Chains A and B, each alone.
Chain A
Amino acid sequence: MLSNTSAIIDSLPWSSYPQLMVEPDEQLLLQQIRNGDQRAFERLVKEQTGKILSLAWRLVGNREEAEDLVQEAFIRLHRALPDFRGDSLISTWLYRTTTRLAIDHLRRERLKRKLFFFRADNDAPDPVELASDTRDNPGRKYQAKAAMAALRKGLKKLSPRQQVIFSLRHHEGLALQEIAAHLGLETGTVKSHLHRAVTQLRLELADYREDMP
């Protein structure tokens, strides 16, 4: 759970975002929120949740933890809205905040594992569960589930930053320059992390590929 997340990452000031014109609809919504319209903020949350929750879920690999992260991101957004000057899109701010919260969350999880001597293998899926839903083309379904489990396991062995950079590039399709802007890193650093992540994943998944027919 993320009860103590807030202390670690500061909400980013709006001024640190690229100069983008806020859409008129969003401008109106923001004005309503500033005027104390609580329903307008709820509408904003409803509109933005789908994309942001999917991102968080893919980054941390767990639905409940992703929901906690997204909730935290929206609360920070609510806190930051009075200072919003309309320089950037709300979705950009949320995307960046959620990504950073995800890295922070993955770091904490890793630290917990180290402290409590959990092995990464403990997270390996139950083989019975993998083979459970086999009504329709059982062989292919089993392979798909096994591949997903192997990828998840491989991702967990990367550093939190490598994991997020790989996911943002490989699964989300963001350009390296955008990722660098989101994470506040140099593009060269992002390139280096991506390369290490790919190398590590190829090693981790080599065994899995050998086992597959």
Chain B
Amino acid sequence: MKNTDCLSEQDLTLHYYGEIPADSPELEHLSSCQNCLVRYDALQKDLKSLPVLTDEADSAAGTRMAARVSERLNQRKTNWLPILGGSAAAAVALVVTLAIWPAQPNAPVQTQPVQTASHTMGLENDMPDIDFLNDLELLKELELLRQIEGV
């Protein structure tokens, strides 16, 4: 007959794993209750029959793991290089663009003197013509002088 003081399944499990203090009322009850003892024995039998997991790392596992971790850490470092390289190239491109950008509005101003210069150069090229015209004037004056002398 099960009474209200009987241990719950959780208490029995905790007792199996040594998680109930030895001087607790639960264990006092267990020692005197046939019903709880039978349940506890069944639980104990089941848990003791479970196989022990024997998965153990071998002695070389540490060396292999050290190599794996080092490789991964190095990969993480080298993975940053292309990103850093790309970022640096983008930064340089940006700086170059910004350096050129403000110059564009002044470009006509800069081209203006060039055009002016070319005009100047054209005038300079035309200079012989001016000289020629000047020479014609002089010739006219010379003719005038000759006529005067002739008179």
Contact = CB atoms under 8 A, between A and B. Distances in A.
B65 interface: yes
Contacts, number: 99
Interface in A171-200: 171, 175-176, 191-192, 194-195, 198-199
Nearest to A149: B51
A169 to B, nearest CB: 6
B56 to A, nearest CB: 5
Nearest to A78: B73
Interface in A1-59: 38, 41-43, 45-50, 53-54, 57-58
Given A71-B69, A191-B10, A46 B62 contact: yes
B66 A54 contact: no
Size bin of chain B's contact surface: 20 to 34
Which DSSP category, helix, strand, loop or mixed, fits chain B's interface? Answer: helix
Q: By CB atoms of chain B within 10 A, which of A67, A195, A198 has the most?
A: A198
B13 A198 contact: yes
A58 B55 contact: yes
Nearest to A53: B57
B68 A209 contact: no
B49 interface: yes
Interface in A56-115: 57-58, 61, 63, 66-67, 70-71, 74-75, 78
Contacts of A198: 13, 43, 47
Interface residues of A, number: 43
A88 B47 CA distance: 34
Interface of B: 9-10, 13-14, 17, 19, 43, 46-47, 49-53, 55-57, 59, 61-63, 65-66, 68-70, 72-73, 76
13 contacts: A41-B70, A45-B69, A48-B62, A61-B55, A71-B72, A75-B72, A78-B69, A144-B51, A170-B50, A195-B13, A201-B50, A202-B43, A205-B49
